[in-house]
């Protein structure tokens, strides 16, 4: 199958599943999409097992390596769109908690999850995996999904400051986690030939992240200046400018071997905040933000379909799935610790709404980004176990946490919002 066949298949299934979910199931879209994709995968596996002559193995998804499409297009677009929605002015007094949760929290989560997964794999399950690759898994599984989180929690009258923390952190931690995961992966690859010195490690980090920040700042500012000169009625021109900035920036960053994902995040932050003045938020500017919000939701929908269909191509090994279920609990513990430590440190100077820690912990649903990132990783020993663990964690997070978060919210905030239909 060609790339456009894969994209067409995912768009068709996403559209069909969203229609069925909206009319019949009435679940949050991420949960409904995943459930139906998993059911479809199970049907294909069962039919293929009993009727092998039909040869319907997932329309041969395993024959196509869509890692490049996920890495070059999906990740860059989703990170740019997420960063574009971050408005530092709206964060107001919650800016410090959001930034600490999205940075310090991600680092804590990465270290705790990576370390525990390393000991779990090597000493409990019996699968050998280098410590740095365990840290890569810890980083890529850390980001929470803003769309899934928002859809689940918008029905409840939670404290306004807690709502801002949840939305702000889920938007901001994507870029931090992706850049950290890819930087750790570069360090791991570079260290396969020889042991890296401290200087070489620091150089890789500074060159990778610093170069991405520089390109993001330059192209983000150029994009902002171009948007400023475009007439408000030329909506298509403004949209094309943002598309060009993202794609050129990502290509240029990859060409000079720096972090294209960091560049995408910085470009989104620059255009999203510098561009929220009188010009970009006027008539045409609103369509720019709506367009990228639509892109993010569409890509997220297709990624949730991909998560369900991934069951057809991941290795069916008991030890891999056992490691995945162990990882579910490790990830939850890492998330709790990454929330508990920053909040306790800040609680001496500011107050937090009741149930902040349990809601931020249990409501942190994992979405399509970890799946896209794990599938887009370059080949190395242990990639299959990382993909399987990511799959198990994301599925359990969306189905188990996603379906039980409303119960937690009802216990914490019993009065739900009333909607007029």
Task: Report how far residue 323's alpha carbon sits from residue 382's, in angstroms, rounded to the nearest whole number.
Answer: 12
Which tokens belong to 364? Answer: 């942190």
CB atoms within 10 A of CB 363: 23
Q: Give the model's pLDDT for residue 415.
A: 55
Q: Give the model's pLDDT for residue 54.
A: 58
- In the DSSP assignment, the letter for residue 96 is H
Q: Give the model's pLDDT for residue 130.
A: 93
Which tokens belong to 17? Answer: 């599943």
When mean pLDDT is compared over 69-73, 114-118, 309-313, 411-415, the highest value belongs to 114-118
Name the band, by pLDDT with cuts 50, 70 and 90, for residue 277. Answer: low
CB atoms within 10 A of CB 418: 7
Q: Give the model's pLDDT for residue 87.
A: 76
pLDDT above 90 as % of the chain? 33
Task: Report how far residue 194's alpha carbon sits from residue 171's, in angstroms, rounded to the nearest whole number.
Answer: 37
Q: Give the model's pLDDT for residue 131.
A: 94
* Spatial contact of 138 and 117, defined as CB atoms under 8 Å apart: yes
* Spatial contact of 367 and 303, defined as CB atoms under 8 Å apart: yes
Q: Give the model's pLDDT for residue 396.
A: 93
User: DSSP letter string over 105-155?
Assistant: HHHHHHHHHHHHHHHIIIIII-----HHHHHHHHHHT----HHHHHHHHTT
CB atoms within 10 A of CB 369: 28
Asked whether residue 113 carries a pLDDT value surpassing 90, the answer given is yes
Name the band, by pLDDT with cuts 50, 70 and 90, for residue 123. Answer: very high
Name the band, by pLDDT with cuts 50, 70 and 90, for residue 283. Answer: very low
Which tokens belong to 307? Answer: 């998560």
Q: Give the model's pLDDT for residue 124.
A: 94
> 3-state class of 365 per DSSP?
coil
How big is the CA angle at 202 (ends 199 and 208), to the nearest 5 degrees? 135
pTM (predicted TM-score)? 0.86
Asked whether residue 348 carries a pLDDT value surpassing 80, the answer given is yes
User: What are residue 156's DSSP bridge partners?
Assistant: 416
Residue 378: exposed, middle, or buried by beta-carbon count in 10 A (0-12, 13-18, 19+)? exposed
Task: Report how far residue 342's alpha carbon sits from residue 346's, in angstroms, rounded to the nearest whole number.
Answer: 6
* Spatial contact of 103 and 176, defined as CB atoms under 8 Å apart: yes
* Spatial contact of 132 and 202, defined as CB atoms under 8 Å apart: no
User: What are residue 416's DSSP bridge partners?
Assistant: 156
Average per-residue pLDDT in the chain? 83
The structure tokens 């971050």 sit at 86
Asked whether residue 136 carries a pLDDT value surpassing 80, the answer given is yes
Name the band, by pLDDT with cuts 50, 70 and 90, for residue 163. Answer: confident
Which tokens belong to 177? Answer: 């986690």
Q: Give the model's pLDDT for residue 342.
A: 93
Residue 88: exposed, middle, or buried by beta-carbon count in 10 A (0-12, 13-18, 19+)? middle
Q: Give the model's pLDDT for residue 386.
A: 95
Asked whether residue 187 carries a pLDDT value surpassing 50, the answer given is yes
Lowest mean pLDDT among 122-136, 141-155, 264-278, 390-404: 141-155
Q: Give the model's pLDDT for residue 267.
A: 93
* Spatial contact of 130 and 382, defined as CB atoms under 8 Å apart: yes
User: DSSP letter string over 287-301?
Assistant: HHHHHHHHHHHHHHH
Task: Report how far residue 139's alpha carbon sits from residue 275's, in angstroms, rounded to the nearest whole number.
Answer: 30
Task: Report how far residue 338's alpha carbon sits from residue 357's, in angstroms, rounded to the nearest whole number.
Answer: 10
Asked whether residue 141 carries a pLDDT value surpassing 50, the answer given is yes
* Spatial contact of 264 and 76, defined as CB atoms under 8 Å apart: yes
Measured over the CA atoms of residue 312, residue 61, residue 383 and residue 392, the dihedral's sign is negative
Lowest mean pLDDT among 70-74, 248-252, 415-419: 415-419
Asked whether residue 158 carries a pLDDT value surpassing 90, the answer given is no
Mean pLDDT within 255-265: 88
Name the band, by pLDDT with cuts 50, 70 and 90, for residue 152. Answer: low
Name the band, by pLDDT with cuts 50, 70 and 90, for residue 418. Answer: very low
Q: In this predicted model, what pLDDT tens digit does every residue of 31-51 receive, in sequence order? A: 888 889 889 888 878 877 787
Asked whether residue 11 carries a pLDDT value surpassing 80, the answer given is yes
Residue 79: exposed, middle, or buried by beta-carbon count in 10 A (0-12, 13-18, 19+)? buried
pLDDT above 70 as % of the chain? 86
Task: Report how far residue 309's alpha carbon sits from residue 375's, in angstroms, rounded to the nearest whole number.
Answer: 13
Mean pLDDT within 97-119: 94
Task: Report how far residue 182's alpha carbon sits from residue 139's, in angstroms, rounded to the nearest whole number.
Answer: 9
CA nearest 62: which of 317, 314, 308? 314
Q: Which domains does the chain have, with CATH numbers?
A: 67-412 (1.20.1530.20)
The structure tokens 């596996």 sit at 45
Which tokens belong to 265? Answer: 């995040």
Mean pLDDT within 376-399: 91
Task: Report how far residue 27's alpha carbon sits from residue 19's, in angstroms, rounded to the nearest whole number.
Answer: 11
């Amino acid at each position: 199958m060609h790339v456009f066949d894969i994209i067409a298949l995912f768009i068709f299934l996403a559209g069909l599943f969203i229609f069925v979910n909206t009319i019949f199931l009435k679940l949050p879209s991420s949960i409904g999409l995943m459930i139906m994709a998993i059911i479809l995968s199970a049907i294909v596996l069962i039919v293929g097992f009993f009727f092998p002559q039909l040869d319907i193995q997932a329309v041969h998804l395993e024959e196509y390596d869509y890692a490049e499409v996920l890495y070059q297009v999906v990740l860059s677009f989703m990170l740019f769109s997420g960063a574009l929605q971050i408005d530092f002015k709206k964060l107001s007094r919650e800016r410090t908690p959001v930034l600490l949760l999205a940075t310090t929290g991600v680092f804590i989560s990465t270290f705790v999850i990576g370390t525990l997964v390393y000991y779990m794999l090597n000493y409990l399950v019996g699968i050998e995996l280098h410590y740095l690759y365990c840290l890569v898994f810890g980083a890529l599984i850390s980001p929470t999904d803003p769309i899934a989180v928002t859809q689940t929690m918008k029905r409840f009258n939670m404290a306004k400051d807690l709502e801002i923390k949840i939305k702000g952190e889920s938007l901001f931690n994507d870029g931090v986690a992706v850049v950290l995961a890819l930087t750790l992966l570069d360090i791991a690859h570079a260290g396969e030939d020889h042991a890296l010195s401290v200087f070489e490690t620091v150089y890789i980090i500074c060159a990778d992240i610093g170069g991405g920040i520089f390109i993001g700042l330059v192209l983000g500012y150029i994009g902002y200046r171009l948007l400023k000169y475009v007439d408000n009625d030329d909506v298509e021109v403004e949209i094309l400018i943002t598309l060009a900035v993202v794609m050129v920036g990502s290509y240029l960053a990859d060409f000079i071997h720096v972090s294209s994902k960091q560049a995408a995040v910085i470009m989104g932050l620059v255009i999203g905040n510098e561009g929220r003045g009188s010009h970009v938020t006027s008539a045409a500017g609103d369509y720019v933000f709506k367009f990228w919000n639509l892109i993010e939701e569409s890509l997220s929908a297709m990624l949730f379909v991909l998560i369900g269909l991934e069951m057809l191509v991941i290795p069916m090994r008991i030890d891999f799935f056992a490691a995945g279920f162990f990882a579910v609990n490790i990830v939850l513990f890492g998330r709790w610790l990454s929330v508990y430590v920053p909040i306790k440190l800040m609680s001496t100077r500011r107050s937090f709404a009741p149930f902040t820690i349990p809601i931020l912990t249990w409501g942190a649903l994992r979405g399509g980004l970890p799946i896209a990132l794990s599938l887009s990783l370059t080949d190395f020993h242990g990639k299959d176990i990382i993909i399987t663990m990511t799959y198990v964690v994301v599925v359990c997070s969306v189905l188990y946490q996603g379906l039980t978060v409303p119960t937690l919210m009802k216990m914490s905030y019993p009065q739900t919002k009333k909607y007029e239909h």
